[in-house]
């Protein structure tokens, strides 16, 4: 079950975090939230300061939060591992450590063991350690040396290993032996592939589907689809990720569509809207390689997706007599998004085709260089200094810095005109 409709609540990650930590949401509600929603709230507060929230998570939510947080694309993020281990460190109870161990992929613990643990195993027990700073958990059969220099991490890892041995000596021996039979790269690759499978169960599309959803739709194909009586496919169940939908403001046409759906009170269409928007945003995160823990970049992607939807709705209205709600019913959000994505990504192609010598020649032309730099990325942005009439906005004699999401078809047309007129060849 998904959380209550955000067309009615509209909670951003910070608002959801405050509601949870002020105990305004009971445990049953927190546990009913999609794991990604809980994770976004948790990241606002910080993992180390969220032990109370972590204690409320179901095992599935906990595992998903680790899957979101412990990976930088396909690289294991060790620094995040230590934050989660620290959050499970309590003096009076081992329950948080038990839950951490029960949720994390044990291959990641083997990777940590391979990096920082030196193990010497004897056929017969001995009282003599093989070197300084070795200790034995089993009366001299195996000797362990922790090589990590950070004292806090040393203590946390020693506590984790001791807990594993006390609760399951068999598991302990398995974990310390894995690095001797598998390379770290093999462990990382296997763990990453299993992580992809798990997050797909949370509604995160795989790479193939994400690229498909983010494939621009030519205008000619949009016109053809606008003539059909109904959309080509219905939306299957996708978790509605509350904060993701409201991390950025709605542009005008997207806002009108959301408002209309809310006023009509059609739960099914409201749910379709939210579910499809959640799917598109997650597909954009995957397609444009944004980590789930990069909160600022996640918010930027959310704004860019809504901007592309706004442009897609504009194109739909210009090429038919349909209203926003009618276009949604005929096309669905994915088609609208892909149509709006087309003029945005076209700018990237134009800018990326510019030869190196051309780029070097405009380095001292601040406005043109700023425009090219803003659109010469995978998901182009609109420079803040560029006014709608092509003039430049300055602050204290300098161009206004920064970029934002494209939200209007006129913006893409303006920059396309500037690029084509300046770089005719």
Mean pLDDT of 301-320: 97
Residue 122 covered by a domain: no
Does position 296 have pLDDT exceeding 50, yes or no? yes
Claim to verify: residue 312 and residue 225 sit in the same structural domain: yes
Claim to verify: residue 252 and residue 384 sit in the same structural domain: no
Claim to verify: residue 244 and residue 326 sit in the same structural domain: yes
Strands 117-121 and 394-395: unpaired
What are the pLDDT digits (tens) for 239-256?
999 899 998 899 999 999
Residue 129 covered by a domain: no
* Angle between helix 333-352 and 324-331 (nearest 10): 90
Residues 6 or more apart in contact with residue 82 via CB below 8 angstroms: 153, 156
Residue 217 covered by a domain: yes
Last residue of a domain, one of 297, 318, 342: 342
Claim to verify: residue 168 and residue 235 sit in the same structural domain: no
Q: 196's torsion region: left (phi>0), alpha (psi -120 to 50) or beta? A: alpha
Claim to verify: residue 225 and residue 80 sit in the same structural domain: no
Last residue of a domain, one of 325, 342, 359: 342
**Tell me, what's the pLDDT at 5?**
38
Claim to verify: residue 355 and residue 304 sit in the same structural domain: no
Claim to verify: residue 218 and residue 245 sit in the same structural domain: yes
Query: What domain count does the chain have?
Result: 3
Claim to verify: residue 297 and residue 242 sit in the same structural domain: yes
Last residue of a domain, one of 342, 374, 407: 342
Claim to verify: residue 328 and residue 361 sit in the same structural domain: no
Residue 126 covered by a domain: no
Nearest to 216 by CA among 300, 353, 335: 335
Residue 127 covered by a domain: no
Claim to verify: residue 408 and residue 277 sit in the same structural domain: no
Domain that holds residue 283: 207-342
Claim to verify: residue 320 and residue 393 sit in the same structural domain: no
Residue 391 covered by a domain: yes
Claim to verify: residue 184 and residue 252 sit in the same structural domain: no
What are the pLDDT digits (tens) for 123-138?
899 999 999 999 999 9
Residue 120 covered by a domain: no
HEC per residue, the chain: CCCCCCCCCCCCHHHHHHHHHCCCCCHHHHHHCCHHHHHHHHHHHCHHHCHHHHHHCCHHHHHHHHHHHCEECCEECHHHHHHHHHHCCCCCCCHHHHHHHHHCCHHHHHHHHHHHEEEEECCCCCCCCCCCCCECCCCCCEEEEECCCCHHHHHHHHHHHHHHHHHCHHHHHHHHHHHHHCCHHHHHHHHHHHHHHHHHCCCCCCHHHHHHHCCCCCHHHHHHHHCCCCCCCCCCCCCCCHHHHHCCCCCHHHHHHHHHHHHHCCHHHHHHHHHHHHHHHHHHHHHCCCCCCCHHHHHHHHHHHHHHHHHHHHHHHHCCCCCHHHHHHHHCHHHHHHHHHHHHHHHHHHHHCCCHHHHHHCCCCHHHHHHHHHHCCCCCCEECCECCCCCECEECCEECCCEECCCCHHHHHHHHHHHHHHCCC
Nearest to 235 by CA among 375, 97, 334: 334
- Per the prediction, the chain carries an average pLDDT of 92
Does position 8 have pLDDT exceeding 50, yes or no? no
pTM for the complete prediction? Answer: 0.91
How confident is residue 146, by pLDDT bands cut at 50, 70 and 90? very high
**Tell me, what's the pLDDT at 234?**
62
What are the pLDDT digits (tens) for 183-241?
999 999 999 999 999 999 898 999 999 999 999 999 999 999 999 866 666 677 789 99
Percent with pLDDT over 70 in the chain: 96
Residue 36 covered by a domain: yes
Structural tokens at position 79: 């620094």
Number of residues that make up the chain = 425
> CA 257, 263, 267: angle at the middle one, nearest 5?
85
């Amino acid at each position: 079950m998904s959380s209550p409709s955000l067309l009615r609540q509209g909670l951003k990650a910070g608002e959801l975090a405050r509601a949870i930590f002020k105990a305004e949401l009971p445990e049953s509600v927190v546990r009913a939230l999609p794991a990604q929603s809980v994770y976004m709230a948790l990241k606002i507060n910080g993992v180390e300061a969220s032990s109370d929230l972590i204690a409320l998570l179901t095992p599935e939510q906990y595992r998903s939060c680790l899957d979101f947080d412990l990976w930088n694309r396909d690289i294991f993020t060790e620094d995040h591992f230590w934050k989660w281990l620290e959050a499970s460190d309590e003096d009076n109870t081992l329950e948080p450590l038990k839950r951490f161990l029960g949720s994390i992929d044990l291959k990641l613990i083997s990777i940590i063991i391979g990096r920082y643990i030196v193990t010497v195993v004897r056929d017969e027990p001995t009282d003599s350690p093989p070197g300084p700073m070795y200790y034995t958990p089993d009366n001299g059969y195996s000797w362990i040396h922790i090589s990590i220099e950070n004292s806090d991490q040393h203590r946390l890892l020693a506590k984790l290993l001791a807990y594993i041995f006390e609760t399951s000596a068999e598991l302990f021996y398995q974990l310390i032996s894995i690095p001797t039979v598998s390379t770290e790269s093999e462990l990382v690759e296997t763990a990453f592939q299993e992580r992809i499978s798990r997050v797909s169960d949370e509604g995160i599309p795989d790479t193939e589907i994400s690229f498909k959803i983010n494939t621009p739709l030519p205008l000619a194909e949009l016109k053809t689809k606008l003539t059909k009586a109904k959309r080509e496919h219905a939306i299957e169940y996708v978790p509605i990720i509350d904060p993701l939908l409201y991390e950025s403001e709605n542009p005008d046409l997207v806002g009108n569509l959301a408002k209309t759906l809310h006023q009509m009170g059609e739960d099914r269409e409201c749910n379709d809207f939210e579910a499809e928007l959640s799917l598109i945003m997650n597909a954009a995160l995957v397609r444009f390689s944004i980590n789930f823990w990069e909160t600022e970049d996640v918010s930027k992607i959310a704004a860019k997706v809504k901007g592309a939807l706004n442009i897609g709705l504009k194109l739909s209205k210009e090429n038919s007599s349909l209203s926003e709600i009618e276009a949604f019913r005929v096309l669905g959000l994915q088609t609208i998004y892909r149509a709006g994505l087309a003029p945005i990504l076209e700018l990237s192609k134009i800018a990326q085709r510019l030869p190196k010598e051309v780029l070097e020649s405009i380095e001292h032309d601040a406005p043109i260089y700023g425009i090219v730099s803003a659109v010469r990325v995978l998901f182009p942005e609109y420079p803040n200094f560029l006014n709608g009439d092509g003039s430049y906005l300055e602050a204290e004699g300098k161009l206004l810095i920064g970029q934002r999401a494209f939200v209007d078809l006129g913006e893409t047309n303006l920059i396309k005109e500037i690029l084509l007129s300046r770089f005719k060849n």
